[in-house]
Amino acid sequence: MSDNEKSEDLKGGPGHIILLAVVFAVPVLKLAWTLGGGGEASEALVAMEPSNWPDVLIGMLLNTALLASVLAVVVSRTTYAYFAAKGGARVYADSSVVHTLPTAAVVPLTFALVVGAFHGWWWGGAVAVASYALRLGVIVEYRTGRREPGSGKRTRTSPSGWLQHSADTATMAALLPAGVVLPVIALAGAVDGRSWASVVECDVNTGEGNERARLVELGRKGNGVVGWDIEGDEVVNGINCGVSENDVVRPPLWRS
């Protein structure tokens, strides 16, 4: 099979590209915008140490229910389509509907439980319904012949019958959360000016005695924290810390 015969799901479509951007680029943008620039982001990353770098993305997901929900839906559909294009579609074709439909629900229900636990069960229910619906769209694509089970390549014939039209509609519907909704929400979350981690008020030694300062927590050290001094624009050590009720570090991009 030549490269150009492989399906978009196998090579990597919008879902794959956007997922990579959200996982790697958006957290860096979050750091740079929130702290004030690339130099500040680099200093914070060094202070955080590599083991804590995922905290930026995790913090964004915990703080923004919509981002967590849409990301879960996109991951659920993208992984399902990818493994179908890798050969899993033959399993869909050979297995009975009674077996395929419950199996397709496992990951959506798992994501629904995770999102629901952190953001409420309404969000979890929405994730379950949307994720499962898009996975059903993948199944319908293969079972109606809109994709070839052997390669995952989309057939170029005109759809006939309501099932094939439904399969094409499902394909277009899958592009909306992956290609439009997720990048917009992720970028908005990256430049909203809110901290991805706890904002704490600590005693900081300035060289002329201790002063109270607001810090973005980057890590823990002994009885204190390593944090970004919001007013001083530098990494400092803080002690006697308490959680601040305000997690806004700077105004969002659209108000700057």
Q: How do residues 44-66 score in pLDDT, each as one tens digit?
A: 999 988 888 899 999 999 999 99
Neighbours of 23 (CB within 10 A): 13
* Whether residue 237 sits in one domain with residue 167: no
**pTM (2 decimals)?**
0.84
Please give the C-alpha separations between residue 223 and each of 11, 187, 240, 241, in angstroms, as whole numbers: 49, 35, 8, 9
What percentage of the chain has pLDDT greater than the value 70? Answer: 82
* Whether residue 244 sits in one domain with residue 181: no
Mean pLDDT of 24-37: 92
Q: Is the pLDDT of residue 159 over 80?
A: no
Mean pLDDT of 85-91: 63
Which residue pairs, CB below 8 angstroms and at least 24 apart, start in 95-103? 100/139, 101/136, 101/139
* Whether residue 145 sits in one domain with residue 68: yes
Domain that holds residue 27: 3-190
- What's the number of domains the chain is made of? 2
* Whether residue 235 sits in one domain with residue 124: no
Domain end point (choices 144, 172, 190): 190
Q: Is the pLDDT of residue 15 over 70?
A: no
The 10s digit of each residue's pLDDT in 184-211 is 999 999 999 999 999 999 999 877 778 9
What percentage of the chain has pLDDT greater than the value 90? Answer: 51
Query: What residues does 201 pair with on adjacent strands?
Result: 214, 242
Domain end point (choices 147, 167, 190): 190
Question: What CA–CA distance (Å, rounded) separates 138 from 170?
Answer: 8
* Whether residue 133 sits in one domain with residue 229: no
